[in-house]
Amino acid sequence: MRLFHKMREQKLLSFGLLLLTLSIGIVIGTLVNTGAHAARGQVAAPDASPLHVPDAVQIGNEFTRLAKRLEPAVVNITADYTPKEASNKKDPNGDQGDDALEPFRRFFHGSPLGGGEEGHAFKHEQSGSGFIVDRNGYIITNNHVVEKMDHIRVKLNTDDTEYHARLIGFDRETDLAVIKIDPKAPLAAVTIGNSDAIQVGDWAVAIGSPFGLEASVTAGIVSATGREIPSAQQFQRFIQTDAAINPGNSGGPLLDIRGEVIGVNTMIATQTGGNNGIGFALPINMAVHVYNDIIRTGRVTRGSIGITWSKGDKPDLLKALGADHGVLVGDVHKDGPAEKAGIKADDIILAMDGKPIKDGDDLVARVAESPIGTVATFDVDRGGKRMSYKVTILDRTEVFKDRPEIAGLEEEEQQESKGETTAPAKFGIRIRALSDPERVNQGLADKRGVVVTSVDEDSFAEDIGIQEKDIIVSINREPVTSVDDVRRIQSRLQPGDAVAFRIMREGGANPDHTPRWNSFFVSGTLAKR
Please list the active-site residues. Answer: 144, 175, 250
What are the backbone dihedrals phi and psi of residue 411, each rounded to the nearest 5 degrees, phi first?
-55, -45
Quick one: three-class SS letters along 114-144?
CCCCCCCCCCEEEEEEEEEEECCCEEEEEHH
CB 253 within 8 Å of CB 70: yes
Helix (H, G, I), strand (E, B) or coil at 480: coil
Taking CA atoms, 323 is separated from 122, 312, 347, 376, 391, in Å, by 59, 17, 11, 21, 22
Q: Which has the closest alpha carbon to 236: 296, 176, 297, 277?
A: 176
- For residue 234, the surrounding DSSP H or E stretch is none
What are the backbone dihedrals phi and psi of residue 279, each rounded to the nearest 5 degrees, phi first?
-125, 160
CB 149 within 8 Å of CB 108: no
Amino acid at 487: R
- For residue 181, the surrounding DSSP H or E stretch is none
Residue 355 bridge partners (DSSP) = 352
CB 356 within 8 Å of CB 378: no
